[in-house]
Structure 1
Amino acid sequence: MNMKIQTVFVAGALAFAVFTGCKTPCDCCTADGAVALFDGNGLDAFRSYKADTLPPGWAVEGDVLHVLPTKGGDLMTKEQFEDFELSYEWKTSPGGNSGVIYKVLETKGLAWHTGFEAQILDDAVHGDGKNPKTSSGALYALVAPNAKKKLKPVGEWNTAKIIVKGTHGEHWLNGEKIVEYEQAARSWRRSSPRASSRRSTTPRRRSAR
């Protein structure tokens, strides 16, 4: 998977979010009030889940963030965002499986044990693509994308957006809102949002705001 990350809109108190590429939020502010994220130059604003060091499975090539084959790992920001809008572009290799995880608690277990995940997947090849609730763009294992979902072919860039405002959440893919939910059920009660990304299978990411 490849991804480019640029900015995230922040409202309210801070909680953790993913892919910040600036030393401080003020360094990253744009004219429209957004906070710039990964700038393509390094990973100084990131760390691993439950660790101060970086995971070995990530690399920056040009302005693109790559997950290395067979390695992966959770890449998390040091800064926090609570209500936010995170936009990004991503593409993956055949069979690719990754995701953006948010509302993560650094307690016990892995990041995806407590966080919500916007799935990134090659639906046509990976087994999770057979189940709508675990297909690309889904709120993983909880909410399937609606009929507006239009996934680009493997190797082409998809645009995506995650919106969180209090208990309300949305996933967007290629200009369409494909998931909308309210975090109301007891089993969905997760606080202190923090986002991360995980897994390998050569995913790539680029630009987000």
Structure 2
Amino acid sequence: MKSNPSRTLFRTLFATGLLAAGLCSCCPNHNTLTQAEIADGWQLLFDGKTLDQWKDFNGDSLTQPWHVVDGCIQAAGDGSDLSGYIVTKKQYENFILDWDWKLSPGGNSGMLYHVVENPYFAVPYVTGPEYQLIDNEGWEATNAPTRLEEWQKLGVDYAMHLPNPDSLLVNPQGEWNS
């Protein structure tokens, strides 16, 4: 993530979806920055080893079932709001977020951003948009006969903006995407 101070403060949020255990949000190799990236202001949010830079949404520490598996951030359990939401401890203003991810069969999760932490908000998705991460076909097969609407599918700004399908280049479920 590259910081750029020019807006009011928000937190970057990594959120569970209906099946958070299906999300693996990390690089296929160890998370590192080149000297040029460091000089340009990029910062790692996840080192591939610990969740030291993360905490519960509206909390002071990380208490929910989030852990590191094979260099990836994962949540144990069956997903839902009960899996909890994690945010970076540090606040960022205007930023560029770059991450690698893949989904397990039927996986459903997302990356929320520009969320506001305040005890008034029990869940972060009422305060910030979500980049939807979901295995479209696998989720529908697992949850049939429920069908996903276009505004719920992979790569959408959930319930807000649909991506241009010609520019949405996604590898098949189980492979790495950026």
TM (norm. structure 2) is 0.72
Q: Does 1:11 align with 2:41?
A: no
Q: Does 1:137 align with 2:132?
A: no
Cα distance between partner residues in 1 of 2:84 and 2:177: 22
In structure 2, runs of 5+ residues without a counterpart are: 15-36, 141-145
- For 2:18, the equivalent position in structure 1 comes to none
Aligned partner of 1:149 among 168, 173, 177: 168
Q: Does 1:35 align with 2:43?
A: yes
Q: CA deviation at 1:113?
A: 1.1
Cα distance between partner residues in 2 of 1:131 and 1:149: 17
Aligned partner of 2:91 among 73, 77, 80: 80
What is the CA deviation profile of residues 6-51 of structure 1, one whole-angstrom value per residue up to 9, with x for unaligned ones?
Answer: xx011114532247xxxxxxxxx71332122211221112110111
Structure-2 change in CA distance of 1:44 and 1:151 (3 Å): same
Cα distance between partner residues in 1 of 2:90 and 2:107: 28
TM (norm. structure 1) is 0.62
Q: Does 1:120 align with 2:133?
A: yes
- For 2:72, the equivalent position in structure 1 comes to 64
The letter for the 2-side match of 1:51 is G
Question: SS at the partner of 2:111?
Answer: strand
- For 1:200, the equivalent position in structure 2 comes to none
- Number of aligned residue pairs: give it: 143
The letter for the 1-side match of 2:65 is G
- For 2:177, the equivalent position in structure 1 comes to 158
Cα distance between partner residues in 2 of 1:40 and 1:69: 21
- For 1:109, the equivalent position in structure 2 comes to 122
Structure-2 change in CA distance of 1:129 and 1:139 (3 Å): farther
Higher relative CO (CA 8 A, sep ≥ 6), structure 1 or 2?
A: 1
In structure 1, runs of 5+ residues without a counterpart are: 1-7, 20-28, 160-209
Contact persistence 2:13–2:115 (CA under 8 A): no
Identity across aligned pairs (percent)? Answer: 34
Cα-Cα RMSD: 2.1
Question: SS at the partner of 2:47?
Answer: coil
Contact persistence 1:55–1:75 (CA under 8 A): no
What is the CA deviation profile of residues 155-203 of structure 1, one whole-angstrom value per residue up to 9, with x for unaligned ones?
Answer: 11111xxxxxxxxxxxxxxxxxxxxxxxxxxxxxxxxxxxxxxxxxxxx
Cα distance between partner residues in 2 of 1:11 and 1:88: 18
Cα distance between partner residues in 2 of 1:62 and 1:40: 8
The letter for the 1-side match of 2:152 is T
